[in-house]
Chain A
Amino acid sequence: MAALLDVKNLKVHFHTRNGLVKAVDDVSFSVNAGETLAIVGESGSGKSVTCYSLLDLLPKPPAKIEGGTAMFDGEDLLTCDKDRMRHFRGNDIAMIFQDPMTSLNPNLTVGEQLIEPLIYHPDKARRQDRATAKLRAIELLNEVGIVNSERRFDSYPHEFSGGMRQRVMIAMALINEPRLLICDEPTTALDVTIQAQILDLIKQLQKSRDVAVIFISHDLGVVAGIADKVLVMCNGVAMESGDTDKIFYHTENDYTRRLLDAIPEGAKTMANRAQSENLVEVSNLRTWFKDFSGPKLNIVKAVEDASLTIKRGEILGLVGESGSGKSTLGRSILQLAPTTEGTVTFDGTQLTGMSPAKLVPWRRRMQMIFQDPYASLNPRMTVFETLAEPLLYHGIADKNTVTEQVQQLMDDVGLARGHMRKYPHEFSGGQRQRIAIGRAIATKPELIIADEPVSALDVTIQAQVLDLILELVERHNLTMLFISHDLSVVRYISDRVLVMHHGVLIEQGDTEHLWANPQQDYTKNLLKAIPLADPKSERARLSS
């Protein structure tokens, strides 16, 4: 039988002011009804572009489809006119996007957005009035697992959690009973536990509706469970494609291999260098925020009564899902967030209640690495300026020595010296994070608090940065609080682990010990939810 969607030799080029970029170069694949194709690749591999081009969602210019065909049910998506395309969109082919936070219009109720495909249906015949559309929508909301959906129908997106929003997105995609569902990294922005649920949901729905699914992801672990076929892309070129087991168990392609290897697995390989002495002692720390954003002030209890110690030389992992308050805890320790109660002691000195001026010498000794390497670098400062600033400010270097020291740092974090005068935007995410790390270690600190330093990076890059961090910790004899939502990463890097939930530290222990027998149910669930790059076990887990 003919495949539902058959893409042949797709070529998409971007004509930017910086010249031509071959985003997708001669890629072919096909999907049948009821089948799931996973397109895997790192950022810039062209996996998303491939799918956007199918629905003509690319900004033109700069994008231009240079060639190829995409036969959907006998019609070429690439050549059909706008009106025809509107018939496909949301009707035969639906799409789910990566970030549910931004993919829903914050100004409209979810209900309104849900029924739009029905009430504004491209062909008048199939349009429905609001009332019937609403019933349909509510029914779907139930189906995707949103409780008391009648009431939720009139709520706004911000009233839903990330996972819930993604469910809404899915409902929205399915409302016109599409035959092809394109999921663009639908779980990347979600916590592990939620991710598992969503994957589950998608798989069920596909079974029940017998739709074709294209599942885009950068994480082989995620797709292992649900994909029938896998297409691996890199720099716009198809590296390898075939059915899942083949790709995972007998791949011939080095790139695919590298992807698989990059997935952090197993315990930390390095020795625990923790010393007896406590570098940081936190007792009964409490951080509350006054939220002025609204006309009405409401108090956010980000951290409740946290007590912990960080031993000199150890890497302490801090895991928790988004909103658990782990970042706030980190910032509170550095006195970047105003603490409400409790004390933070650094190397025997109490930091809480110190005046900003007094803190300056201490700040030099404790640094932070932020999650988003894009936002954490001043876009108007070159690498040199960024790295030189702390050196000069803290008098570590002077005018003459600064250049050399900066180059030192760049060597340390593995950046080519030639790039010294470049601006952040000229670097890839990984390189940026290296710059950020460089800035953090510039002041020769003793403590570094790393807030999700790798979660914004591709797997392969992630692996490199993790190794870099370990290496630096070794060389500079650093103490580190490593905050992450990704348990595999935490396990890979940290000696000891704290688990945080709703602003409270619920469990802690040596990493392997905790992995072996977690006490709290919450922790157990977390550990269960970790996706593995092993189709068989994953399938088992999902179907269970």
Chain B
Amino acid sequence: MLRFALGRLLQAIPVLLVVITMTFMLVHSAPGGPFSADKAVPEEVLEALEAQYNLDQPLWQQYISYLGDVLQGDMGPSFKYPGRSVNELILSGLGTTAELGMYAMMVAIFIGVIAGVTASMRPNTAQDYVPMTAAMIGICMPSFLLGPLLVLIFGIHLEWLPVSGWNQIPGDKILPAITLGTGYAAYIARLSRGGMLEVLSQDYIRTARAKGLSEFLIISKHALRGGLIPVVAFLGPAFAGLLGGSFVVETIYQIPGLGRFYVQAAFNRDYTMILGTTVFFATLIILFNLLSDMLAVWLNPKLRQQVRGE
């Protein structure tokens, strides 16, 4: 297992390097600098500022020195927030976003798996079509629409839940989690349905029946294990994507998360911040893909033993 993981991590290094390089070139060639404002900025001020952030050096020098810093784990100072380092900012948002992502995932898995399994138990009946159609809608329901809807229903009219913020548990966690989770719930529903149908057609399910086990046991003990493997494979990328895509939700609900930084940085041309967040998310994507692969291995006893045997 270790070797497997290490191998993948080694592969990640060139990937990250390319990501950094390309992003670096992208941001520096994007129009509008970090300090441009609607009030004219006097030449001398601009020079002073650029000198402060070594923007006056030739690009390749900036690139080299940036790489150097990154290797030492320092992503540099933010241009937009003087005195704040990118590391600091990312850290400040990371916890929140991770938390949000976790809740969203929980919602997604909970609803998704239940819907998918229910559907798979009676394929091509109403019990199948209803949740699956809902799933279809969920997939295409943009969160910028779902979010406000939920807020208006549960926040303003029913006054059950706070409309924004990130202070209480579970109060203001619920709506964001649902808003962010729904799309993924829908995907998971489709995946788990497919997986379950596959497994339920297997001989060993018939064996289980012949043994006189109850339907519940058959589903929960014999089928789920294999039926959810596609879901597991999906989880990794999904979680990474979910963290990256949390921007809309974070804005709707005023959540101090990473997604906002990611997007704002782009709008502000906060070079170091863009690079920082990008690198960070790239790492996440790679890590989570690796994790879900390892999980998939773990779920398969055959592969697991090879791992043990190592």
Contact = CB atoms under 8 A, between A and B. Distances in A.
Contacts of B301: 106-107, 156, 158
Interface in B197-250: 202-204, 206-214, 217, 221-222, 225-226
B309 interface: yes
Contacts of A116: 208, 211, 213, 217
A105 interface: yes
Contact of A296 (B204, B206, B306): B306
Contacts, number: 100
A104 B217 contact: no
Interface stretch (A5-13, A89-97, A130-138): A89-97
Contact of A86 (B3, B214, B302, B306): B214
B210 A94 contact: yes
Contacts of A172: 207, 211
B306 A90 contact: no
A159 interface: yes
A158 to B, nearest CB: 5
Given A156-B305, A295-B307, A296-B310, A117 B3 contact: no
B-side interface mostly? helix
Contacts of A104: 204, 207
A303 B51 CA distance: 70
B210 A90 contact: yes
B303 interface: yes
A88 B212 contact: yes
A105 B305 CA distance: 16
Nearest to B309: A296
Interface string A154-192: 001011000000000100100000000000000000000
A293 B304 CA distance: 11
Contacts of B202: 102
B7 to A, nearest CB: 9
Given A55-B210, A88-B212, A103 B203 contact: yes
Contacts of A376: none
A30 B222 CA distance: 34
Interface residues of B, number: 32
Interface in A33-62: 55, 57
A108 interface: yes
B303 A89 contact: no
Contacts of A117: 211-212
B292 to A, nearest CB: 14
A294 interface: yes
Contacts of A121: 212
Contact of B207 (A88, A91, A97, A120): A97
Interface in B150-194: none
Contact of B212 (A90, A105, A108, A158): A90
Nearest to B206: A57
A156 B306 CA distance: 12
Contacts of B204: 102-106
Contacts of B226: 106-107
A99 interface: yes
A122 interface: yes
A87 B211 CA distance: 9
A298 interface: yes
B60 interface: no
B27 interface: no
Interface in B256-310: 294, 297, 299-303, 305-307, 309-310
Interface in A67-100: 86-91, 94-95, 97, 99
A89 B211 contact: yes
B210 A89 contact: yes
A156 B222 contact: no
A97 B310 CA distance: 34
Nearest to B204: A105
Interface residues of A, number: 34
A-side interface mostly? loop
A89 B209 contact: yes
Most buried by A among B225, B301, B310: B301
A158 B302 contact: yes
Contacts of A105: 204, 207-208, 222, 225
B306 A294 contact: yes
Most buried by A among B202, B204, B212, B301: B212
Contact of B306 (A55, A122, A298): A298
Most buried by A among B210, B214, B221: B210
A95 B302 contact: no
Interface string B1-23: 10110000000000000000000
A122 B212 contact: yes
B209 A295 contact: no
Nearest to B7: A295
Nearest to A99: B203
A45 to B, nearest CB: 19
B229 to A, nearest CB: 9
Contact of A89 (B212, B225, B299): B212
A298 B221 CA distance: 31
B222 A294 contact: no
B213 to A, nearest CB: 6
Contacts of A89: 209-212
A106 B305 CA distance: 13
A87 B214 CA distance: 11
Most buried by A among B203, B217, B222, B300: B203
B210 A294 contact: no
Given A105-B222, A295-B4, A91 B206 contact: no
Interface in A118-142: 120-122
A298 B301 CA distance: 16
A396 B300 CA distance: 48
Nearest to B229: A107
Given A90-B211, A120-B217, A107 B225 contact: yes
A10 to B, nearest CB: 18
A122 B217 CA distance: 12
Contact of A294 (B208, B212, B225, B303): B303
A274 to B, nearest CB: 43
Contact of A106 (B1, B210, B302, B307): B302
A296 B1 CA distance: 7
Nearest to B225: A107
A165 B207 CA distance: 13
A25 to B, nearest CB: 23
Nearest to B205: A105
Contacts of A169: 207
A88 B209 CA distance: 11
Contacts of A156: 301-302, 305
A209 to B, nearest CB: 18
Contacts of B213: 86, 90, 116, 120
Contacts of B305: 156, 159
Contacts of B222: 105, 107-108
Contacts of A295: 1, 3-4, 294, 297, 303, 306-307, 310
Given A116-B213, A120-B217, A172-B207, 12 more contacts: A86-B214, A87-B212, A105-B222, A108-B221, A116-B208, A121-B212, A122-B212, A156-B301, A172-B211, A294-B307, A295-B294, A296-B3
21 contacts: A55-B209, A55-B210, A86-B213, A86-B214, A89-B212, A90-B212, A90-B213, A99-B203, A103-B204, A105-B208, A106-B204, A106-B300, A106-B301, A107-B226, A117-B212, A159-B305, A294-B297, A294-B302, A295-B294, A295-B310, A296-B309
For the complex of A and B, list the 9 residue pairs with the smallest distance between their C-beta atoms, beginning with the closest.
A89-B212, A294-B306, A295-B4, A90-B212, A90-B211, A102-B203, A107-B225, A105-B204, A156-B301
